[in-house]
């Protein structure tokens, strides 16, 4: 893979000292699909600050996360590698010391680095907050499995940060970091919001009756109320994000701070979080760096959140480690070329820490490859019925389950959410079927495309030393 080691001509020479390097602020929303922002074409959700932010920067329309789950996705962000390659496909594991994170490289050249807000999810189940299982927490500590605070100058976490008014504390931690940091150094901060993660408790702003439902949503009162509540969470987060932008402007930090906004994975909504459909892995990704990146620019190339780590290193003038599978986005951001890439990949693996598959579908295993037009999803356990992540027990979904049993639910929704089995392979034409309603896997005219995508996925799984069965059938004949 081609990787640029420094910034483009004219900028690399300006980064000779740490004081001249730009600050980097990475803002992450939680469970947030790209489809759920005004600047991504959704007229229903109210996101004025993010819409204005997108007008000031560069928006990627086809950004994908390395996993539709928080722990693996955040591991990919921090390491620039597949979550499989860094052994982070489960929730109750810690990032091993052998796997370097990009803030460590930034720190080594003089950056003041930190994380704040919602848990960063890379030190086991509780990220340094007193654990629910005392013995497990003690085992982490006794065996020195928790490493993240050692990698940073500041490591802050808001416990239970998606409850009630605790979301306000996230911006307070941002202010604390800004006061605490060494003012003679550039800074990197990952600021994580809890919104729009469930449970939904934001003030009501959106009217359920006026929403336009996607075609894969059943139209019931409870479904509409649930989607409106999700949009309310996004609106609250948008307001909090606006406060951060105003702070940078009022304190003279706007022009020399690269601000990146993204989601960790897709929404806990239909065909979203925990699935490899577009609502599960297609995320917002917006960069702003005044005087360097074009205003209001849109980039339609496929990118991955694995690309963030090498991009940040490149911006700081640091050679990109060979083991990083992500690509440097700097040339694209600066308008100096395109990525030499055919595919991006995503992994769905064990979810949460519950061992009961009927409650969390914890054992589900899926892989996918996304190209410019086509996507292939490989489900290793097609006999395991679909279970929504984080909303299977909601009144909204329980009502749909009852309607399915009573045969009052439309057949299309019964097939999507209550089928006895799932297909092992799904092939979608994202250009002509962006909502992924037509599985093309058995159509002979797509046989060559299917073969190419299965091979690409096979090669990536070999590269990552994946622990699950490879998808290419010829290997087992």
CA distance 236 to 246: 16
* Segment 206-256, tens digit of pLDDT: 999 999 999 999 999 999 999 999 999 999 999 999 999 999 999 999 999
Identify any residues that bridge with 368 across adjacent strands, giving them in sequence order.
346, 377
The pLDDT confidence band at residue 163, using thresholds 50, 70 and 90, is low
Q: How far is CA 430 from CA 64, 166, 369, 373, in A?
A: 13, 39, 12, 5
Nearest of 143, 144, 140, 145 to residue 130 by alpha carbon: 140
Q: Where are the domains of the chain?
A: 12-338, 347-384+422-476
Nearest of 390, 122, 167, 412 to residue 280 by alpha carbon: 390
Domain 12-338 in CATH 3.10.129.10: no
Mean pLDDT of 334-359: 82
CA distance 190 to 180: 15
Quick check: 81 and 305 in contact, CB under 8 A?
A: no
CATH number of 347-384+422-476: 3.30.1120.10
pLDDT at 434 over 90: yes
Mean pLDDT of 417-444: 96
CA distance 276 to 347: 8
Quick check: 265 and 283 in contact, CB under 8 A?
A: yes
Count of beta carbons in the 10 Å neighbourhood of residue 143: 9
- pLDDT at position 473, please? 76
The residue behind tokens 């019925």 is 385
Mean pLDDT of 295-312: 98
Give exposure, 361-390, as e/b (b: 16+ Cβ within 10 Å). Answer: bbebbbbbbbbeebbbbbbeeeebbbbbbb
CA distance 461 to 183: 44
pLDDT at 476 over 70: no
The pLDDT confidence band at residue 360, using thresholds 50, 70 and 90, is low
Burial class (CB in 10 A: 0-12, 13-18, 19+), 71: buried
Quick check: 426 and 441 in contact, CB under 8 A?
A: yes
- pLDDT at position 6, please? 40
* Segment 97-124, tens digit of pLDDT: 999 999 999 999 999 999 999 988 898 8
Quick check: 378 and 368 in contact, CB under 8 A?
A: yes
pLDDT at 420 over 90: yes
The pLDDT confidence band at residue 410, using thresholds 50, 70 and 90, is very high
The residue behind tokens 């005392």 is 134
């Amino acid at each position: 893979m081609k990787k640029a080691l420094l910034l483009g001509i004219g900028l690399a020479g300006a980064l000779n000292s740490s004081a001249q390097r730009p600050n980097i602020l990475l803002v992450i929303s939680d469970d947030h699909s790209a489809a759920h922002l005004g600047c991504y074409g959704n007229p229903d959700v109210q996101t004025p600050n993010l819409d204005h932010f997108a007008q000031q920067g560069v928006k990627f329309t086809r950004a994908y996360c390395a996993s539709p789950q928080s722990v693996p996705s955040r591991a990919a962000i921090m390491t620039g590698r597949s979550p499989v390659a860094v052994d982070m496909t489960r929730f109750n594991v810690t990032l091993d010391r052998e796997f370097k994170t990009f803030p460590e490289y930034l720190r080594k050249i003089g950056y003041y680095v930190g994380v704040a807000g919602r848990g960063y999810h890379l030190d086991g189940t509780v990220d340094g907050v007193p654990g629910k299982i005392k013995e497990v927490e003690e085992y982490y500590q006794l065996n020195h499995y928790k490493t993240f605070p050692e990698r940073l100058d500041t490591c802050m976490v808001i416990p239970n940060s998606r409850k009630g008014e605790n979301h306000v504390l996230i911006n307070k931690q941002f202010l604390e970091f800004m006061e605490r940091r060494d003012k003679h150094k550039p800074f990197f901060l990952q600021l994580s919001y809890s919104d729009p993660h469930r449970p939904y408790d934001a003030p009501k702003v959106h009217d359920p009756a006026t929403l336009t439902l996607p075609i894969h949503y059943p139209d019931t009162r409870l479904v509409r109320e649930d989607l409106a509540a999700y949009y309310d969470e996004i609106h609250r987060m948008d307001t909090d994000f606006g406060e951060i932008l105003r702070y940078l402007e009022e304190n003279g930090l706007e022009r020399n701070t690269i601000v990146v906004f993204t989601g960790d994975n897709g929404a806990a909504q239909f065909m979203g979080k925990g699935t490899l459909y577009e609502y599960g892995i297609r995320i917002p990704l917006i960069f702003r760096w005044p005087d360097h990146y074009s205003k209001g620019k849109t980039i339609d190339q496929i990118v991955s959140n694995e690309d963030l780590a090498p991009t940040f290193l490149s911006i700081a003038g640091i050679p990109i480690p060979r083991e990083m599978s992500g690509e440097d986005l700097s040339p694209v951001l600066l308008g100096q070329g395109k990525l030499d890439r055919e595919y991006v990949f995503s992994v769905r693996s064990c979810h949460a820490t519950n061992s009961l598959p009927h409650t969390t579908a914890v054992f589900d295993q899926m892989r996918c490859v996304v190209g410019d037009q086509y996507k292939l999803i490989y489900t290793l356990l097609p006999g395991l019925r679909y279970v929504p992540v984080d909303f299977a027990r909601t009144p909204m979904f329980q009502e749909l389950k009852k309607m399915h049993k009573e045969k009052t639910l439309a057949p299309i929704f019964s097939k999507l959410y209550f089928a006895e089995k799932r297909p092992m392979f799904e092939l979608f034409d994202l250009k002509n079927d962006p909502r992924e309603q037509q599985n093309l896997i058995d159509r002979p005219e797509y046989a060559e495309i299917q073969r190419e995508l299965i091979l690409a996925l096979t090669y990536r799984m070999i590269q990552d030393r994946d622990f699950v069965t490879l998808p290419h059938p010829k290997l087992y004949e």
